[in-house]
Chains A and B, each alone.
Chain A
Amino acid sequence: ETGVTQTPRHLVMGMTNKKSLKCEQHLGHNAMYWYKQSAKKPLELMFVYSLEERVENNSVPSRFSPECPNSSHLFLHLHTLQPEDSALYLCASSQGGFSSGANVLTFGAGSRLTVL
């Protein structure tokens, strides 16, 4: 496979469930990102792993927990989510680190999450 692969593509979960989203990049990139995309709203950066450093958006609730075991894999662990967390979760990677000026993001197709 090439590019950025996200699984599952669709996930429905109750508020008491625990689930994880997975992202894998086959591009040899140095940084990986989690974004939240809600309808008619700007992309919201949740977490960045760049050159073994983690950057996070302080407004992201603790019910979202990232894990980056190596430069090719990224997980988003979900627990006790709320209905307002329903959204498309996009993973992305870039060749340059977070602070690179022209680093182009390569996105996965996203995981559509519905919280009941």
Chain B
Amino acid sequence: GQNIDQPTEMTATEGAIVQINCTYQTSGFNGLFWYQQHAGEAPTFLSYNVLDGLEEKGRFSSFLSRSKGYSYLLLKELQMKDSASYLCAVKDSNYQLIWGAGTKLIIKP
């Protein structure tokens, strides 16, 4: 079967750096997405990786290794507003999006 694994919950300190990992086993690969979802709000797009390597976007970066079936989202200079759930999703060979259950990130002062 197809599967996306990510930690259920993580805690980090304001101003610090946190890395949220995502590993996947899917039938083929057509890209990996990260979304952010604040409690009670819509998920919003953060990043898309289809080639190996690091994509940087301000305080957020996303890394992909297709050979390892692995990605991470790196958040720098954490702010309280970064407290949210982070969803990892992979497009398989049929272009279906396979979702992880999400990682709830708690930021403490």
Contact = CB atoms under 8 A, between A and B. Distances in A.
Contacts of B45: 104-106
A27 to B, nearest CB: 13
A99 B97 CA distance: 10
A100 B50 contact: no
A114 to B, nearest CB: 15
Interface residues of B, number: 25
Interface in B18-42: 30-31, 33, 35, 40-42
Nearest to B43: A107
A109 B41 contact: yes
A100 B95 contact: yes
B101 interface: yes
A42 B40 contact: no
Contacts, number: 48
B76 interface: no
Nearest to B91: A101
A107 B44 contact: yes
Nearest to A105: B45
Interface in A85-116: 90, 98-102, 104-110
B48 interface: yes
A90 B42 contact: yes
The listed residue with most A CB atoms (<10 A of its CB), out of B30, B43, B45, is B43
A6 B91 CA distance: 25
29 contacts: A4-B42, A40-B101, A42-B99, A42-B101, A43-B89, A43-B97, A45-B96, A45-B97, A90-B42, A99-B95, A101-B31, A101-B50, A101-B91, A101-B95, A102-B31, A104-B33, A104-B45, A104-B48, A105-B43, A105-B45, A105-B97, A106-B45, A107-B42, A107-B43, A108-B42, A109-B40, A109-B41, A109-B42, A110-B42
